């Protein structure tokens, strides 16, 4: 996840975006020619919400947090993003502004590709366009789930779900590094950092997890699942 080798060409890079597989060699070369690579240090901002959305950004390696800057400076972390992820936000096709911000958590390697180029390829290649539709749909689908989670579950359920999200979707292990602070965990589950601390404490007392400030180990996945589902 922390690799940092320069990409020689899109043609031999498998870490960018699955949908690029739908491109012809020529199209892929067009993308490759219009590609700018950049590396971000932890906590650096990759995308700034509401700035002009000129580029589609693809994560090659590393981990980033995708978040919205809300009212009175309160953030809402939507999800984490790793390699093979297109970052742009729906705003690119609505008001040409980024809808969310993205910041590096670990060191992040990313490719920037101008939207003009992307649009050109969308118009030329129906398979790619369909892939784009699928990507948008999947993100929208997840957001629909998230809106339900955030509005209808109580704190315990939301935190349990966040922990399972890390285990299942990011680290694929029940024992993982906690890359977010308590504060950020709160921004992800829409609760105060103090509440995060308290509930993590409760989960520990009930032997559901073992947690340190920078690590989590899920001890009783069944219970955690029940808490996550029952809200």
Partner DNA sequence: CTCAGATCATGACATATATCATACTGATTT
Partner DNA sequence: AAATCAGTATGATATATGTCATGATCTGAG
Name the site residues for DNA (rule: CB under 7 A).
154-156, 181-183, 190-195, 197-198, 200-201, 211-214
From candidates 44, 114, 129, 193, binder to a copy of itself by CB under 8 A: 129
For residue 190, state whether it binds a copy of itself (rule: CB under 8 A). yes
Rounded to an integer, what distance in angstroms lies between the CA atom of residue 30 and that of residue 10? 10
Pick from 76, 155, 219, 225 the residue near a copy of itself by CB under 8 A. Answer: 76
Phi-psi region for residue 130, left (φ > 0), alpha (ψ -120 to 50) or beta?
alpha
HEC letters along 106-173: CCEEEEEEEHHHHHHHHHHCHHHHHHHHHHHHHHHHHHHHHHHHHHHCCHHHHHHHHHHHHHHHHCCC
Q: Does residue 151 bind a copy of itself (CB under 8 A)? A: yes
Interaction of residue 132 with a copy of itself, rule CB under 8 A: yes
> Length of the chain, please?
231
Contact 153, 161 (CB under 8 A): yes
Name which of 13 and 156 has its Cβ closer to a copy of itself: 156
Provide Rg for the chain, Cα atoms: 19
Token readout for 29 is: 């070369």
List the helix and strand counts (H, then E) for the chain. 7, 11
Contact status: 201 vs a copy of itself (CB under 8 A): no
- By CB neighbour count within 10 A (0-12 exposed, 13-18 middle, 19+ buried), where does 131 fall? buried
Query: Which partner, DNA, a copy of itself, none, binds residue 143 by CB below 5 to 8 Å per kind?
Result: a copy of itself
211 contact choice in a copy of itself, DNA, none (CB below 5 to 8 Å, kind-dependent): DNA
56 vs 200 by CB, closer to DNA: 200
Residues 24-63 that bind a copy of itself (CB under 8 A): none
| Nearest residue (CB) to a copy of itself, 122 versus 225 | 122
Binding site for a copy of itself (CB under 8 A): 68, 70-72, 74, 76, 89-95, 99-100, 119, 122-124, 126-127, 129-130, 132-134, 136-141, 143-144, 146-148, 150-153, 190, 231
């Amino acid at each position: 996840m922390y690799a940092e080798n320069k990409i020689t060409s899109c043609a031999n890079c498998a870490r960018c975006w699955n949908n690029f597989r739908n491109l012809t060699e020529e199209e892929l070369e067009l993308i490759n020619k219009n590609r700018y690579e950049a590396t971000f240090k932890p906590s650096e901002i990759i995308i700034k919400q509401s700035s002009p959305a000129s580029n589609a950004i693809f994560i090659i390696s590393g981990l980033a947090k995708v978040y919205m800057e809300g009212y009175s400076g309160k953030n809402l972390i939507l999800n984490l993003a790793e390699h093979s992820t297109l970052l742009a936000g729906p705003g690119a096709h609505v008001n040409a502004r980024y809808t969310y911000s993205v910041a590096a958590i670990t060191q992040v390697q990313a490719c920037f590709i101008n939207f003009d180029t992307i649009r050109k390829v969308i118009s030329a290649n129906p398979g790619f366009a369909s892939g784009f539709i699928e990507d948008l749909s999947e993100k929208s689908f997840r957001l629909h789930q998230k809106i339900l989670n955030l509005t209808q579950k109580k704190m315990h359920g939301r935190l349990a779900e966040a922990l399972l999200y890390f285990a299942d979707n990011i680290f694929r292990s029940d024992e993982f590094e906690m890359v977010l602070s308590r504060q950020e965990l709160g921004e992800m589950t829409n609760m105060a950092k103090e509440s995060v601390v308290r509930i993590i404490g409760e989960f520990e007392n009930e032997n559901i997890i073992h947690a340190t400030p920078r690590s989590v180990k899920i001890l009783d996945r069944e219970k955690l699942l029940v808490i996550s589902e029952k809200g």
